[in-house]
Structure 1
Amino acid sequence: MSSGALTAFILRSPVFAGLLCFFVCAGPCPGREDDQARVLYARAQKLLSEGDPDEALDRYLTLLKKHPRTEWSALSLWDMYRIYIHQDSPEPAFEVLNRLIVEQPGHFEKAHAAQLQLVQRILGSGKEARTNLESVKKKKPLPPEIVVEMLKTVIKNGPHSEVGIQAHYYLAIAREQAGEKTEAIAAHEDFAETYSSHELADDAGYQSAYIAYKSWKSMRSTGPHQRENAAVALAWFIARFPESDKAAQARSCLAEVRAAELSELLGLARYYEARSNPKAALIYYQQIASRFPEVIQTDEVLRDKILSLKGAEEVVGPVR
């Protein structure tokens, strides 16, 4: 049989045609692809052991591009994460973890938890990374705005998971570090109310009050508006979480705020009294009596002064 006749026979035969279609469509052999990926991974590991992490990263990236669906791709991503942590490069480390979450479903929980731990380290709220690699000099701190976006991603990846819930708490901390105090207070209050049974709820409530307290303390003047905000926030926390181990500290802060207010009112009252303006002085003494009744009950001299000024006003009558 001639070659032309043989070719015609093969094309007319349904059996041979089916086999030909199978081999054309089957593509590369899975076993062969796995072997190629294993070789690339071994080369990257060798480079890493020789102290050349940058070249190792190039090999890992090549493996991910050519063999994204093999078991070696997930191992490569975890190795890349460790290299970036060693190099103190949190942004690419975070992105590698995100690839594990998106591209490697079997690694979601571990990678998601690692994302939160990474951000905790950046915020100074988590344990330092533990690796077998020699430590390196730390780079410039990551801008807080980027940390905020990282936490938004953690929440988006698992909004109802324990990791996602905790990310809401750390997002409030990141907002404060970014200078967004109003947003941070609102975020902490929202966490405390939304997740009231969570172990971090009372801490979130305390943080919202403490931010307001620190804002008042940082004012060079007496800061009456900031002082009032701090007093309200601290009183809210004490009422909302009376059993918290932070309640004692909150009471101490609130006592300091109230002492500052009392001192200011007394100063104003005595100022007008020294300038022979008893009517103006009485206004502030009455505020003291209204806002600090416990002081009036224990300070007999102050109580008598208020009564005498009030009696004088009733005798003289209103100023016309």
Structure 2
Amino acid sequence: MRLRLFITVMGVLCLATGGQASIIFRPGEKVKYVGPGEEEISGSAQQIYDKAQEAEKQGNMGRAIKAYTQLLKKHPKDALAPGATYRAAQLLEFEGDYMKAAMTYRWLVERYPSSPNFDEAIEGQFRVGEMYLSGKKIKMLGIPIATSLDRAVEIFAAIVRTAPFGRYTARAQFDIGLARQKQSANDAAIQAYQAVIDKFPNDPIAADAQYQIGYIWYEAARLGTNDQAATQNARTAFEDFLFRYPKSEKAQQARENLERLQQKSTGDAMKIAKFYDKEKAYRAAVIYYGQVIREHPGTTASAEAQKRIDQIRAKVGPTALTPAVAVNEPKKKQVASRAPAGNPRPSFRNGDAEVAPLPPPEPDSNLPPPASLLPPTTTAPEPSPSPESSPAPEAAATPLLTAVCLLLTSCLGYHVGPVKPGVLRDVHLVAVPTFENKTLLPRVEVLVTDSVIKQLQQDGTYKIADQGNADAVLKAEITEINRTPARSVRGNVLATTEFNLTMHVRYKLEAHGGTLLMPYADVVGTTSFFVGTDVTTDERQALPLAAEELATHLVTQLSEGW
């Protein structure tokens, strides 16, 4: 009996010594069993730190992580806390608990920004974020269950926020775009890529961001979206890419993508033109044929479109292709033939073709007759009637009434016309060749030139003609287009909600022989726009407004001299 009891006691002691288990007694609580390595770690910051170091030497990483975490919780303001936080994050990453590691790295950079391990902690976050971006899945009970692109975005966003000028910030912003692109959230991806270009234009990753913007729009156009802006935005993005980064390794691919987009755009416009041509809607067909010629000059499609335009004009005549609001020439002559001789109609600044004829006014018996119907004033006046034939007051009022009528009707033959500068008094026809574009925005010269031509036509002081028949030629160059922040997001000065857009043009007016009629002058057009999901698209939509205001100022200077 005693032998059995001795063996049992020795066995219990051996198990207790080998397992190093602990039984904790607390007043008012039940007895608690704590496994090896799970005992509560207490003491001063230095004591806890020493326990963590000892656990690392013994290879007990779980206990070391717990000790470092306890030090951070109990002594967050101690000098050892930043080092303990960084070491805990390293051990968590080593043990494969990547999300907790990223959170611990983030805790370090947010709570201890002056830590000597700040840059290493940013690098650790970036390393974990790249791991999730590359496809590492979230695990539950050790089993991969889902991708973690949202976690990657969260990590990269923390890097951008806590280290806005750090070594990994530009790449983290770019990776946000990659993650959103993988999620098919193209609007968010474009916005992230655009942020790389705006905030880090000199970083090499900005070239990749510009290409990715073009590629997103390229894929949208290639997959057959009904939004025609996708093709235009893709072309703009790739042209910007080639202009800024002509030596990039992706330059050749961008050129090939542009060629495919050109073929697609030409085919779409030609398809629409042929549809209207088949339906005998010739004016609409000519508009789309003209689009092919403007956007793709010198191509086979352009030659085909021009040939068909010539055939349509020969078939239906130019009159059928003019806008419906214009007044036909025979009707103009008919109206002119009804005008009384010696009293020509006032001229209008927009030209007779833009103004419909007015009906003849109804005669008003209460008004005196016009001057053209009064008796000639060059003969001697007839004798005044005697007092017996008419009352004296009426006889006295007759000469006064006649004088008033003459005064009111003596200027009927005059009209207020355009007040041109003296040097331009002999200029009636103006040629407006396409402006020269010295900015980074492609094809904006077509937009500005069209706006100026439309404004000249609307003003009416000058008529548009080709250079061979024009009295003067307007030559201009677009020198600058600026986009400046006007309003920022509350609490984040780096994010802009509204931009001011300013367009500068320098122009001169030359006579047909090359004589300078007006020296170089500058004109400016401005507008503003709010930022949505795509800054590039928002800016493109605001450009016509700035061009319209610029055209108004330019034409005013030409027609009125100020």
Q: Same fold (TM over 0.5)?
A: yes
Return the alpha-carbon distance in structure 1 between the equivalents of residues 86 and 281 of structure 2: 80
The structure-2 alpha-carbon separation of the partners of 1:59 and 1:260, relative to structure 1 and needing over 3 Å to count, comes to same
Deviations along 1:287-308, one digit per CA (max 9) or x if unpaired, are 2112211225x87555332222
Measured at CA, do residues 80 and 145 of structure 1 come closer, stay the same or move farther in structure 2, by a change above 3 Å? closer
State yes or no: 1:81 paired with 2:93.
yes
Q: CA RMSD in A?
A: 3.3
1:199 match: 204
Equivalent residue, structure 1, for 2:51: 36
* Residue deviations 1:59-100 (CA, integer Å, cap 9, x gap): 52134304762766644431222112xxxx432121132244
2:189 equivalent in structure 1: 184
May I ask how many residue pairs the two structures share in their alignment?
Answer: 267
Letter in 2 for 1:65: Q
Of Structure 1 and Structure 2, the greater strand share is in: 2
- Report SS of the residue matched to 2:274: helix
The higher radius of gyration belongs to 2
Q: How far did residue 286 of structure 1 move?
A: 1.8
The correspondence for 2:118, drawn from 108, 111, 119, is 108
d(CA) in 1 for partners of 2:303, 2:62: 78
Q: Does 1:309 align with 2:312?
A: yes
Q: Please point out which of 135, 143, 147 is paired with 1:141.
A: 147
Return 172-181 or 203-212, whichever deviates more.
Answer: 172-181
SS at structure 2 position matched to 1:210: helix
Asked if the contact 2:68–2:87 (Cα under 8 Å) also holds between the matched residues in 1, the reply is: no
Change (3 A) 1:41 1:73: farther
Deviations 1:93-112 (A, max 9, x none): 21132244445923222221
1:35 positional shift: 4.2
Partner of residue 119 from structure 1, selected from 118, 129, 134: 129
- Residues in 2 aligned to 1:210 and 1:73: alpha-carbon distance in whole angstroms: 42
Matches within 5 A, 1:1-16: none
Q: Does the alignment pair 1:65 with 2:59?
A: no
Question: 2:285 — aligned with what?
Answer: 281
Higher helix share: 1
Q: Deviation per CA, 1:135-159, whole angstroms, max 9, x where unpaired?
A: x8755211x3332221121123321
Identical pairs, percent = 18
Which letter does structure 2 place at the counterpart of 1:80? L
- TM-score, normalising length from structure 1? 0.70
1:8-60 C-alpha deviation (Å, 9 max, x unpaired): xxxxxxxxxxxxxxxxxxxx7887555433333345x14xxxxxxxxx43552
Give the TM-score normalised by structure 2: 0.42
Establish whether residue 161 from structure 1 lines up as the match of residue 171 from structure 2: no
In the TM superposition, residue 281 of structure 1 has moved relative to its aligned partner by 2.6
For the structure 1 residues 287 and 301, does the alpha-carbon distance in structure 2 shift closer, same or farther, using more than 3 Å as the test?
closer
Matches of 2:84 and 2:195, distance apart in 1? 42
Cross-structure match for 1:96: 104
Does the 8 A contact of 2:173 with 2:195 survive in 1? Answer: no
Provide the C-alpha distance between the structure 2 equivalents of 1:30 and 1:299, rounded to a whole number of angstroms: 80
Letter in 2 for 1:308: Q
Q: How far apart are the structure 2 equivalents of 1:196 and 1:227?
A: 25
TM alignment of 1:159-308, pairs within 5 A: 159-219=164-224, 221-295=225-299, 301-308=304-311
* Rounded Cα–Cα distance in structure 2 between residues aligned with 1:73 and 1:262: 61
Q: Give the Å deviation of 1:239.
A: 2.6
- Cα distance in 2 for residues equivalent to 1:315 and 1:78: 79
SS of equivalent residue, structure 1 residue 106: coil
Deviation string for 1:210-258 (max 9, x for gaps)?
A: 1121222334x55423222222222232233233222221121122122
Compared CA separation, residues 160 and 305, structure 1 to 2 (3 A): same
Distance change (3 Å), C-alpha of 1:62 and 1:310: same
Classify the secondary structure of the residue corresponding to 1:140.
Answer: strand
Residues 271 and 91 of structure 1, relative CA distance in 2, 3 Å threshold = same
The match for 1:8 is: none
Q: C-alpha deviations, 1:272-291, integer Å up to 9, x for none?
A: 33344444332322221122
**Aligned partners of 1:253 and 1:233: how far apart in 2?**
11
**Structure 1 residues 32 and 281: CA distance shift in structure 2, 3 A:** closer
Q: Within 1, Cα distance between the matches of 2:272 and 2:45? A: 85
- Please, which runs of 5 or more residues in structure 1 have no aligned partner? 1-27, 47-55, 129-135
- Displacement of 1:263 in angstroms is 0.9
